[in-house]
Homo-oligomer: A and B are copies of this chain.
Amino acid sequence: MPNSKPTPVTMDAVYTAPGYLFRRMQQIAVALFIEECKAFDLTPVQYAALVTISTHPGIDATRLSAVIAFDRSTLGNVIERLQTKEFIVRKPAPEDKRVKLLYLTKAGASVLNDIMPSVDKAQARMLQPLKPADRKTLLALLTQLVDLNNEASRVPLRAEDALEHLGRSG
């Protein structure tokens, strides 16, 4: 007889898939972040953008997107919201009329300083259910995996180093 027996589909096809588990953890991570940081009106993405602008004053949107691996189009909206909240300002670059440089405002620097403990608390809560040794193991494997899979994502991370020779004269 022909091999016509269809594979019986079970929910394991969803529940045990790493992609599903990463999606769930992302949902959980965002929920915990929002809960811990609700006093600050900042999303995880907005927080990451603020940190990067803080450590790279005068960065432009395209580089920012590469340094945190967020899509350039997405980041346009994020920047707009941060600007509306007056946490950042945009200044036209003198030597390139296309570019707008990003800087923290005082309010932005202040909120970034103040939100840190809450962010740390949210990050700790994510891994809390695991034993301390398991937390380290998971974090190490996750860091490895993200790094090794970097090129698989649509917007690979390009660290500062990889960008230094771009868009500058030197």
**Which positions in A face B, CB cutoff 8 Å?**
6-7, 9-11, 13-14, 16-33, 44, 48, 51-52, 54-55, 67-69, 112-113, 116, 119, 122-123, 125-127, 129-130, 134, 137-139, 141-146, 148-150, 152-155, 157, 160
Q: List 25 A-B contacts (CB under 8 A).
A: A9-B54, A9-B55, A14-B51, A14-B68, A16-B143, A18-B126, A18-B139, A20-B48, A21-B142, A22-B25, A22-B29, A22-B126, A24-B146, A24-B157, A25-B26, A27-B154, A31-B152, A31-B153, A31-B154, A32-B152, A127-B145, A130-B141, A130-B145, A137-B137, A138-B142
Report the copy number of this chain in the oligomer: 2
Query: In the docked arrangement, what's the CA distance between A69 and B25, Å?
Result: 11
Query: In the docked arrangement, what's the CA distance between A69 and B24, Å?
Result: 8
Residue of B nearest to A148 (CB): B129
* A57 CB to nearest chain B CB (Å): 11
A21-B143 in contact given A112-B9, A149-B28 (Cβ < 8 Å): yes
Measured between beta carbons, the chain B residues less than 8 angstroms from A129 are 144-145, 148-149
Measured between beta carbons, the chain B residues less than 8 angstroms from A112 are 9
Q: Is the CB of A127 within 8 A of B18?
A: yes
Query: In the docked arrangement, what's the CA distance between A144 and B160, Å?
Result: 35
* A117 CB to nearest chain B CB (Å): 10
